[in-house]
Structure 1
Amino acid sequence: MQLNQKMTTPGARLSGVLCTIPSPVVTQALAASGMDCVIVDLEHGAVDIGTAHAMIAATQGTGCAPLARVTSIDETQVKRILDMGAEGIVFPLIRTAADAGRAVASMRYPPVGTRGFGPFIAQSRWNSTLMEYPRHQEALVCILTIETREAVENIDAICAVPGIDMIVPAPFDLSTDLGVMGQFDHPDFIAAMSRVEAASKAAGIPLGNVARAKGQAEALFGRGYSFIADFDVLWLRDRAAEFRGWCAV
């Protein structure tokens, strides 16, 4: 089952990893673990386009969907990473319905979108041919990240844009933009999150978020979220620190 189908399954509890480490080996191990998706992080990770392709290819043979987080709503960058075989895009800093519309359009071929044609590499990832590849675009996943006060104010209009597969209210960036960095119990942050959650649910759009502990994951699922993710590099550091602790006297 492809990721877009999993997302629409009632009661779905999906898992993912934001891959900031530029390594096909790491990505392959994560994909083999049973993750629903990996997100190659071009926004905050140390990943170039060649390594991104290798990381996407490293998911082959598993049920793990390779997505990519881009740096902005940049049609050229979106086109290129989809042409590497990515199964979807995570867009940062969506602020308005117009932003959301541009994001969706950048993933689709004309006449419904603005994506240029050239899936010379992607056709192999999708086990397709060059001219058959476009039929797979309906399976591509479009995820929008809500990170600012402006986005929260425009959330109803954003959610009304067709073609959005998931909304992710980003706690770190959103709390920072609200002036309460990391204060996830602050009334302003809680109100903003509630507004995003309500709008997404009203529009029938699945919700995703970061979970760094099992209790946090359970709380998110209890509030109607269907997707959680964490960061490879944070897992590595946490596990290394735990291991080092075994040597403490």
Structure 2
Amino acid sequence: MAEPAPKIRTSFICTIPSAVVTQALAQAGADAVVIDQEHGAIGPEHLHAMIAATAGTKCRPLVRVGKRDEAMVKLALDMGAAGIVFPLVNTAQEAADCVAMTCYPPRGRRGFGPFIGHSRWGVSFEDYLSKVGGTVVCNILIETRSAIDNIEKIFAVEGISALILAPFDLAVELGCPGRFDSPDFLAAVEQFERATDAAKVAKVAKVAKSRVAMTEQQVQAAAARGYAAMMLGFDVMMLKNSAATAIGWIK
């Protein structure tokens, strides 16, 4: 008897500095929200409220930091984030550095200070390390030519939870912005997927393969190609597109 297909994890990217928006997406049933401090309008003054707004749901609050910056990572995790999404990772060494920033010693070098974040998880300050500290995820965005060229070595880095194919930046760098049917873009995607499949066959990777998929057709195509997690959209674009559709009803 064939095993049932694994559940595909879903997430949305929050660029609007609003706990209300984050809470609505969490309550809708998303497995995760990515609070975006790289391209979103979200500063530290909104970070805690948006993370806290996911409490009481199954939704895990992740934070995309603006860069591989230890201070940004520490703040996000100490506010209660379930993990970090790192942009512009090009090499295995950079990926390993990302893992180190999300882990406590001796595995990594995260400083201990979840004075605020422990409450998000319903544990005491004293119990945070044992009950939450080891569950923090480290997700890596694959969005450059260098990352594609080094993808096999990046896959082999211990401690990465997911590698996320980021089509917008990758297409721009490859010289085909917005043209996701470009031969160069498709070749890069194929290289990414081939490395994933090879790591799975060799049983050396526990890394989830993820990508942005913002239409039903894209979701179905990605599922057929073995993607385990999908980012389904950006809050501000979903709002704008829904508003434009509604306005169109009366034109």
Kindly state the Cα deviation for residue 173 of structure 1 after the two structures are TM-superposed.
0.4
SS of 1:16's equivalent in the other structure is: strand
Q: Whole-Å Cα distance in 2 between the matches of residues 63 and 46 of structure 1?
A: 25
Which residue of structure 1 lines up, in the alignment, with residue 248 of structure 2?
Answer: 245
Kindly state the Cα deviation for residue 157 of structure 1 after the two structures are TM-superposed.
0.7
Matches within 5 A, 1:31-180: 31-135=26-130, 136-180=132-176
Counterpart contact for 2:26–2:57, Cα < 8 Å: yes
1:216 aligns with 2:218: yes
Counterpart contact for 2:9–2:229, Cα < 8 Å: yes
Q: Whole-Å Cα distance in 1 between the matches of residues 102 and 6 of structure 2?
A: 27
One-letter amino acid of the structure 2 residue matched with residue 239 of structure 1: S
One-letter amino acid of the structure 2 residue matched with residue 198 of structure 1: R
SS of 2:159's equivalent in the other structure is: coil
TM-aligned CA distance change 1:186 to 1:145, over 3 Å = same
SS of 2:208's equivalent in the other structure is: coil
Which residue of structure 2 lines up, in the alignment, with residue 4 of structure 1?
Answer: none
Kindly state the Cα deviation for residue 10 of structure 1 after the two structures are TM-superposed.
5.4
1:27 aligns with 2:29: no
Identity of aligned residues (%): 49
Matches within 5 A, 1:13-24: 13-24=8-19
1:182 aligns with 2:178: yes
Q: Whole-Å Cα distance in 2 between the matches of residues 34 and 172 of structure 1?
A: 26
Q: Whole-Å Cα distance in 2 between the matches of residues 197 and 82 of structure 1?
A: 30
Query: Given the two structures, how large is their TM-score scaled by the length of structure 2?
Result: 0.93
Kindly state the Cα deviation for residue 52 of structure 1 after the two structures are TM-superposed.
1.1
Q: Whole-Å Cα distance in 2 between the matches of residues 173 and 223 of structure 1?
A: 21
Of 75-84 and 201-210, deviating more is 201-210
Question: 196, 206, 209: which is aligned to 2:208?
Answer: 206
Which residue of structure 2 lines up, in the alignment, with residue 234 of structure 1?
Answer: 237
Counterpart contact for 1:75–1:114, Cα < 8 Å: no
Structure 2 unmatched runs, 5+: 200-204
Question: For each residue in 1:155-196, what CA deviation from the matched residue of structure 2 results, as whole angstroms up to 9, or x when unmatched?
Answer: 111111000111111111011111111111111111111111
Question: For each residue in 1:74-106, what CA deviation from the matched residue of structure 2 results, as whole angstroms up to 9, or x when unmatched?
Answer: 111101100000001100001000110000000
SS of 2:124's equivalent in the other structure is: coil
* Runs of 4+ with >3 A deviation: none
Query: Given the two structures, how large is their TM-score scaled by the length of structure 1?
Result: 0.93
